[in-house]
Structure 1
Amino acid sequence: MIKLENIFKWYQVGGLPSFVLKDINLEIEEGDFISIMGPSGSGKSTLLNVIGMLDEPNEGKYHFMGEDVFALKHKKRTALFQSYMGYIFQSYHLIDELTVYENIETPLIYKNLSGKERKAIVADLLDKFNIVGKKDLFPAQLSGGQQQLVGIVRALATSPKLLLADEPTGNLNSKQGEEIMELFTELNKQGVTIIQVTHSEKNAEYGKRIINLLDGGIVKSRS
């Protein structure tokens, strides 16, 4: 599904390269559940953004579903993302001007679904995650944990084949966090490939494979 070869990412600082990712080589099969761990500044979120086609490295190759990602035009790359991926952002990335309902519905609009189909999907998700009462509220009216939950629900709305999650339980209480991780396990059993960035050893253990980053490079990978 995913093949990263010799991925390097750096920024110029005072005329010298400051490496964020260093020689990343990684293969991820369909149906995998990967946990990426490492200290702050180790490159975890950048690696996730490269996989999610939100960031481009300075060097290296990335093949996704047999496509050479960096050779694709922007439109084709966006279509590939929308067809396969759901992304849970650490900082929510909800649209302030839209209600909870509209935020969840947004990715479905790009799927060319009818209004009736979109309505049914959103209603089902609102009910499943017990946020029906919040559907007409705007992000600013929600707590951090509630915004996180809406971000998770939005990512699941399109039934993605690949779910990318950056600290998905970071702002949730322990019970909500556990429920989300159990949900991820269930989705993975149904065939969804999951890549999560986490600081939590407990959450990392839900993965089938743990990849440790340090200073932008993979230091160890364990099953």
Structure 2
Amino acid sequence: MSKKSRKKSSKAPSGSPTAKKKPLKTRAATQTGSAKTRKGPARKSAGTVAKAGSHKAASKQLNSSKSASAPATAKSGLAEGHKAPAFRLPRDGGDVVTSADFADQKLVLFFYPRADPPGCTREAIDFPRLADAFAAAGTAVLGISADPLKAQEKFRDKHGLTVPLISDEQHKMLEAYGAWGEKSMYGKTFLGILRTTVLVGADGKVARIWRNVRVDGHADAVLEAARSL
């Protein structure tokens, strides 16, 4: 073989690397395409899971709010027209309050679940706000919960409350007035104080009972009822 022929034959393979690069690109493109194909369904399924998860969360919230608003029930048979049950209990400051202290006088008893939560605080502030109006209507006002005296006094001092706060830790007065009973919240049932207000007439009989009280505007409604007696 001549030198020229050897040179030509040695050049012939030089084109082969270029030819081999095309299949490499094709394989890379194929791999990229397959990767995209694999990622596509994954993203879609992730979105589907997210939507399903949010739907379940919304359902749980709806169920919780539904159970949280379940009505509370009291066992007491106290009704309007009944003789108001007698009581003798300690109040803030260490004194003792009895039903006999309010003989021949109208009396408002508002029972609140606990000292210092927002709803109880608004209610406890609203009644003192109308203290002069209640006095003009010949009506005394007492607040009652199961808190110990120290908690009642702290509550009084923090918010400058002027209404006497009674401590009924044994729940005797609460039960007698139907303010202690079964409550339901977030699917759990338990015994506790039911937000209740009782208006006792000067004759010592129950004139009005408000159960499952809504705080906003409640004190004003009780004042109007006291004025009408």
TM norm structure 1:
0.23
Whichever structure has more strand as a proportion of its residues is 1
Whichever structure has more helix as a proportion of its residues is 2
Structure with the greater relative contact order (CA < 8 A, sep ≥ 6): 1 or 2?
A: 1
Asked which structure has the greater CA Rg, the reply is: 2
